Amino acid sequence: METIKYIEIFFTDFVKILGEMSPFLLLGFFFAGMLYAFIPRHKIEKYFNGGAFRSSFLAAIFGIPLPLCSCGVIPTGTALYKNGASKGGTVSFLISTPQTGVDSILATFSLLGLPFAIIRPIAALITGLSGGLITSKLTSENKPTNYKKQKEEQKGLLTRLKDMFRYGFVEFIQDISKWLLIGLALAAIISALVPNNFFEVLNLSPIMQMLIIVVVSVPLYVCATGTIPLAAILILKGISPGAAFVLLMAGPATNAATITMIGKVLGKKSLFIYLSTIIIGAIFFGLVIDYVLPSQWFTQIANPHLAHNHNQFLNWWQIASGLILIGLIINGYVQKIIKAKQKKSQLNNNKIMDIKKIKVEGMTCNHCKSAIEENLEKLSFIDKAEVDLIDKSVSFTGDNIRLHEAKKTIESLGYKVV
């Protein structure tokens, strides 16, 4: 009977959290698509260079609303760096971007309330700017410049609208759905198995809780949206709001793969600055929340549905939004499989063409795909490059392909050619 009770609590809380977040996530996906379609990357590349303060500040400002977590921000950031962005601006972008995003800010408001939703982008801006300034001061620039200049593609309004919905409701969901579901499942498991006020019983000081969260969250991958239900449930179980905020900051911005790739692309000194800025900044803002700002801002979770009040029911629009979100997640996986089969069929039909295909490790999302394709196509001897995320391979065509240079370009972005 106890097992059935825990399973019932798990599914009830999973559905409730999903229902509470889904309307705000759908709205966030819409804005994410708008940013992608109407503010393309080549429009902002020029702002990532120049003076230390200017490049770091603008990189953080541009990065905060972008819906990129650490798996997607690394290829995007390294591609910006390879295409002229300063090292300080790149580090600022890498620090500030994964902590937030229009989708995660809206979802933070839905579960944690307005104070958390406001302080989250403020913390991302300050830490990003600090990391960028320190990097500009202590490191030197060292970038290759052997890329050909690409023509800017002119798109009409209808094409941009199609790109907006394709990215926001297909590609972006493909990238985050796995980690969103993992975050929801972990939150529901903690809600079902961990007693209320568990962390209060442990009687750990807030600073000790923050240090434990840092040790656990730095090497693990959790996306910015996936940390929100975890933080909400942990606060309800007695963890300090400051420690929960450390999870919101350090969890999305770091993981083992990110650490390896930054060290390889930007150097060990930039990596040390990157990690130090995130850890110190997370603990600083956690202490501000616990000891400076009014505690009721953060302890009274905006959503009472999470507090095991089983008499509360979701509204019809929350249920509808949840069903739409689940449908979009399923569609994302189906589209990925269909596209992979179409690409394989196309390659089989074009065997007479001179197509090079290599295996690449470390590609995880559509941002990895676009970064590799765009940088390979900037090489003068490559006409077309295509990444297959399921097969973990890259295919490209061109005249007199210099395979060694192509491999070097891919590895310069932080990936490993098998």
Tens of pLDDT, residues 314-336: 788 889 999 999 999 999 989 88
Q: In this model, does residue 62 exceed pLDDT 80? A: yes
Percent with pLDDT over 70 in the chain: 87
What is the DSSP code string of 131-170?
HHHHHHHH--------PPPPPPPP--HHHHHHHHHHIIII
Q: In this model, does residue 252 exceed pLDDT 50? A: yes
Q: How many CB atoms lie within 10 A of CB 344?
A: 13
- The residue-averaged pLDDT of 336-357 equals 69
Percent with pLDDT over 90 in the chain: 22
**Predicted local confidence at residue 301, as pLDDT:** 63
CA-to-CA dists, residue 142 to 15, 73, 87, 88, 266, angstroms: 50, 20, 9, 12, 9
In the structure, what pLDDT confidence band is assigned to residue 178 with cuts at 50, 70 and 90?
confident
Q: In this model, does residue 346 exceed pLDDT 70? A: no
Structure tokens at 226: 């996936």
In the structure, what pLDDT confidence band is assigned to residue 151 with cuts at 50, 70 and 90?
low
**Predicted local confidence at residue 310, as pLDDT:** 46
**Predicted local confidence at residue 195, as pLDDT:** 77
**Predicted local confidence at residue 326, as pLDDT:** 94
In the structure, what pLDDT confidence band is assigned to residue 274 with cuts at 50, 70 and 90?
very high
Q: What is the pTM of this model?
A: 0.77
Question: For residue 234, which of 312, 306, 283, 313 has the smallest C-alpha distance?
Answer: 306
- The residue-averaged pLDDT of 242-267 equals 84
How far is the C-alpha of 227 from the C-alpha of 21, rounded, in Å? 12
In the structure, what pLDDT confidence band is assigned to residue 263 with cuts at 50, 70 and 90?
confident
- The residue-averaged pLDDT of 155-171 equals 88
In the structure, what pLDDT confidence band is assigned to residue 353 with cuts at 50, 70 and 90?
low
Q: In this model, does residue 49 exceed pLDDT 80? A: no
How far is the C-alpha of 11 from the C-alpha of 287, rounded, in Å? 34
In the structure, what pLDDT confidence band is assigned to residue 44 with cuts at 50, 70 and 90?
low
Q: In this model, does residue 269 exceed pLDDT 50? A: yes
Q: In this model, does residue 118 exceed pLDDT 60? A: yes
Q: Which domains, from first to last, does the chain contain? A: 2-328 (no CATH), 350-417 (3.30.70.100)
Structure tokens at 22: 């889904």
Structure tokens at 65: 């609303």
**Predicted local confidence at residue 402, as pLDDT:** 82
Structure tokens at 294: 């009014």
Q: In this model, does residue 143 exceed pLDDT 70? A: no
Of the segments 13-27, 138-152, 292-306, which one has the largest average pLDDT value?
13-27
Give the lowest-confidence range in 35-39, 81-85, 266-270: 81-85
Average pLDDT over all residues of the chain: 82
- The residue-averaged pLDDT of 284-288 equals 96
Q: In this model, does residue 35 exceed pLDDT 90? A: no
Better pLDDT: 217 or 72: 217
Phi/psi for 281 (5° steps) reads: -65, -40
**Predicted local confidence at residue 247, as pLDDT:** 93
CA-to-CA dists, residue 223 to 92, 318, 320, 331, 399, angstroms: 18, 22, 24, 20, 40
In the structure, what pLDDT confidence band is assigned to residue 287 with cuts at 50, 70 and 90?
very high
Better pLDDT: 19 or 304: 19
